[in-house]
Amino acid sequence: MKLIDVALAIAALTMTLMWVGIREEDEQDVAVLAREMDNHASKLWQKVHDRQFNILAMAANKTNSTYISATYNTIGTIVIAPVPIATVQINSSQTWVDPVFTVAGTKTVIAGVTLQLLWTSPATLNVSQTFAGAGGIQLGSSTGAATELSLENNATLEFASTSAITVVNAKITVAAGSNVIFQSTTAATTITSATFTLANTSTLTMNAVASATALIVVGGTTKCSQGGASITAVAASGSTTAGNKWSSNVQLITGATRRRLATSFATSSKQTWCGDDNSLGSTTVADTNGLIIDTSCAAAKAGTLSIAAGGYLVFKSVSQSSTMATAKAFTMTDTSTVEVLTSSAADYMVKLLEYPMSGTSCFAISKPMIDACATGYTCSIYDHTAGSTCHIVFKSVKDVVPTGSNTGLYGLLALLVIPFIAILLFVLYKMHAKPVVYQEAIPDPMYAYVDPAMYEDTAYPPMNTPVY
């Protein structure tokens, strides 16, 4: 029995060892197979990546090349790093996430297509990029973290689409020598919750038809210098201010001829403030251009406000409840125009702008212009001095009309017309009457006096005899 037990024990041990060996071989095979699958997957992904890169590289070597990828079109959201392409045409709506642009160039978006640019972490743009075409372009997203982009190395970021341009929840820092340009007066440009921080020598050019809400511009120069261009402050729903802050040198500087009234800046540029704050910057309005202050919004604030010769300072929606704008310094010329747009039919006087006196007097309003003064009212714009403080004031006064019925007066005037007409006819008759013809006068005979003494010895004619 002992021998058999030993044999059985040896057999059991042998089988156990064989089973363990088989398990180890299987596990090794599985591990090898897993490694091979990983290698194949990596090679497959590398091939896909290389294929995509080759498509981009081939496109980069073609003029007006077409950037099309079935994978990109299907996914819709693309992580692109880098983008070694100068000229690209976007034929399908896409979102580029964290793109790295290595060469300067133009990206053209076709009509009906939208290209969205997103950066999930702060990024730098070192080469100039232009986004153009008839499609839509969006920088940033209304959800998630803000898109942060720094322009350096004299790079320019230009949006020239003729369709909608949207900048939302974005922070753009512009280094010295770099610039941001919105260059389309046919596109509806919307800027919301965006901050542009400019170096002193950098420029934000707004040659677009733009609406701005919660836009902050710090430093540098903000320029609106193309006919038909405008920057309009739009208050958020339920708010009386757009929340825009212009701590910048704002310039409205086209040189075209402006037609009458604030609704016709078609050939020049304008900026509309709705509670905007540029108290830390300056605003210059050049010839033919206009700054429009919406007085139905919260009070606008200016730092140095200069209305050059031929420039327009326009106050919109003026009524008895208008808010008063303020300026830390203000200048205008004899040929600067102050214009009021109003339709309020009421007796009132309202201060539109307050600024500190410079010198010994306030600036006289030499060229006032009033649009739509209510019928039956007389309106005026004038300067007002209160100590060392100056105001631009608008006044609306109801015309004085006699009370009671005028029927009796009109009847009396009608009666006076009758004798007046009679006298007039008589005078005309006398002026045109025939002259009276008189007969020729026959002189009376002359009588000579005869002294009787002369005829004492002679015969003489009887006395009072006519002498001929």
Instruction: State yes or no: pLDDT of 449 exceeds 70.
Output: no
Secondary structure class of 346 (helix, strand, coil): coil
Averaged pLDDT, 420-444: 66
353 vs 60: CA distance, rounded Å: 56
Mean pLDDT comparison of 79-83, 228-232, 353-357, highest-scoring range: 353-357
Instruction: State yes or no: pLDDT of 436 exceeds 70.
Output: no
Q: What angle do CA 352, 248, 197 make, to 5 degrees?
A: 140
What pLDDT shows up at residue 237?
A: 86
pLDDT in tens, 272-318: 999 999 999 999 999 889 999 999 999 999 999 999 999 999 999 99
Instruction: State yes or no: pLDDT of 414 exceeds 90.
Output: no
What pLDDT shows up at residue 233?
A: 94
196 vs 50: CA distance, rounded Å: 37
Q: What dihedral do alpha carbons 137, 202, 129, 122 form, nearest 10°?
A: -80
Instruction: State yes or no: pLDDT of 390 exceeds 60.
Output: yes
| Residues belonging to the chain | 468
Count CB-CB contacts under 10 A for residue 459: 5
pLDDT in tens, 195-238: 999 999 999 999 888 999 999 999 999 998 888 888 999 998 88
Tokens of 179: 């610039």
Better pLDDT: 318 or 32 = 318
CA distances from 209 to 88, 162, 431 (A): 26, 11, 73
Average per-residue pLDDT for the chain:
79
Averaged pLDDT, 89-117: 91
Instruction: State yes or no: pLDDT of 155 exceeds 90.
Output: yes
Q: Enumerate residues 6+ apart whose C-beta is below 8 A from 443.
A: none
272 vs 235: CA distance, rounded Å: 11
pLDDT band at 10 (very low <50, low <70, confident <90, very high): low
Contact 468, 443 (CB under 8 A): no
| Phi/psi of residue 362, nearest 5 degrees | -85, 165
Contact 298, 277 (CB under 8 A): no
What pLDDT shows up at residue 52?
A: 45
Instruction: State yes or no: pLDDT of 79 exceeds 80.
Output: no
pTM of this prediction?
0.69
- DSSP-derived secondary structure letter, 366: S
